[in-house]
Amino acid sequence: MRAGHLSFRVHALLGLSTLALATSCKVGPNYETPQELPAELWSQPAQGPITVAEPDLKEWWKRFDDPILNQLIQQAQESNATLEKSLANVRVSLASLGVTESQFWPTINTGFEYSRNKTNVAFLAAEGVDVQPYDIWAGGAAMASWEIDVWGRVARLVESSKATMESSVEDLRGVLISVRSQVGTGYMNVRTLQMQLSILRDAVANYKMILDLTKAKFQAGTNTQLDVNQAQSHLDLIEASVPELEGELAASIFSIAQLCGTTPGPMKLLLDASAPLPTGPETVGVGIPANLLRRRPDVRSSERLVAAAVANIGANEALNLPVFSISGNIYLASNQFSGLGDASNLAYGFGPSMTWLAFHGGYVDSMIAQSKGNAQVALAGYRETVLEAMQDVETTISSLVQSRRSVVLYQKAVESAKSTYDLAKLQYSAGTTDLDQLIMVQNDLLDVQRSLATSQGNVAINLVSLYRALGGGWDDGAVNQAAERSAGMKDPS
């Protein structure tokens, strides 16, 4: 009967707690997703290489049709240190979510203890009491005070923790996009610098030819030593630019090595040989603003932080309401070890409780005000992130359009400069123009050739930047692969 009575009481208490959980409500405001932006907010009309079609962002780097670029991005995804750090942050957020969710369940401790005791007469304030030493053997389980989430305080904390974890996942996606973009930009910069070096070396060859021609004219007595010195000076000046550009190229290669998680040596072997600058597709779709907000991880992360902040308001408002809890223990105790097997030595205690924070000196009100302020800060941050995303896309679109226009104009300028240089060289050989004119024309040709190379590089770099600005083509497959590799790493502890 006693065992049945105990079973009935336990089941009754568990039933009450389950009912309380099932009927609990969440105090505080419910989060509502911010409204999407209308399409008319674009200030950049479709023009040139830009269309309103949805962008093809999946593995965008493969659209440049460059095997080395593909290899570099794959290596960066596998070895980039910043990506590993972001993965670790996601694991921390997942663990934090688990800690918060554990508050839904009771904490039950089990244990066993033995003690040897002796009580004196003075302590008992009595005479004739046996004060011989005695043993106590005990073992059982105790449940600490278990809060029944009647007002949804714990549920709001879980809601906040989950949104924070989701924000960290979006941050990870953002890092993945950023790493890919940085590798792509660095690679385009390397190929642009190699073009610049090729142009500079061709210019050195031209200046050497001018110097030889000037020396021949001096030996023929048709010019002066001053002309020879002047030609030599210009040659030396151009040759001095070559090491500077080579140093800049080496620094760009080393930067890619760092992004790919390797040392400069292997990367230099891979990229040292010159190769054509990838051009990429002729047209790019940018879609509409609403889809942009769904694609960009920074916007998605910021939106999740707003949700987390709003959930915290309800968690703090619940502190003003009574807390319903259940606590108890069940154990066997005896003066002899063998008594632990006797059911008559069973003891227990279970029961609900209610506590209410009657006075807190404004603590709860301040916590609520703080959480509301944090929600306002998060919302303002979200709006700022949305505007920055819009600005990022439109600025990159403008840069891409203008750089492509510049390429067309510089190509015409190079053709004119080459024709002018060829004519000036013939006239100088014939003696109908002077050295200053020929050098000026050669300088103009060099300047416009380098400007063309810079513009061509800018087109490729701006195209990479546009893919990044549009959302970068993050995919959970790459994220999951990186997470699996990271999980397999040795624990630093």
CA pseudo-torsion sign 162, 168, 174, 179: negative
Domain-embedded: residue 57:
yes
Domain-embedded: residue 2:
no
Which structural domain, as residue segments, surrounds residue 41?
31-105+149-321+363-487
Domain-embedded: residue 431:
yes
Domain-embedded: residue 235:
yes
Q: What is the pLDDT of residue 301?
A: 94
Give the residue from 393, 299, 284 showing the smallest Cα distance to 43: 393
Q: What is the pLDDT of residue 20?
A: 47
CATH classification at residue 277? 1.20.1600.10
Do residues 114 and 79 touch, judged by C-beta distance below 8 A? Answer: no
Q: What is the pLDDT of residue 19?
A: 43
Q: What is the pLDDT of residue 128?
A: 62
Q: What is the pLDDT of residue 7?
A: 47
What is this structure's pTM? 0.83
Domain-embedded: residue 115:
no
Q: What is the pLDDT of residue 2?
A: 46
Q: Are strands 346-355 and 284-285 parallel, antiparallel or unpaired?
A: unpaired
Domain-embedded: residue 13:
no
Beta bridge partners of 347: 331
Query: Mean pLDDT, 10 residues at a time, over the chain (493 residues)?
Result: 44 46 71 75 64 85 95 92 88 89 86 82 62 79 82 91 93 93 96 96 93 90 90 92 94 95 93 92 82 87 95 92 86 81 82 85 91 94 92 90 94 96 91 89 94 96 94 70 56 51
Domain-embedded: residue 328:
no
Domain-embedded: residue 1:
no
Q: How many domains does the chain have?
A: 1
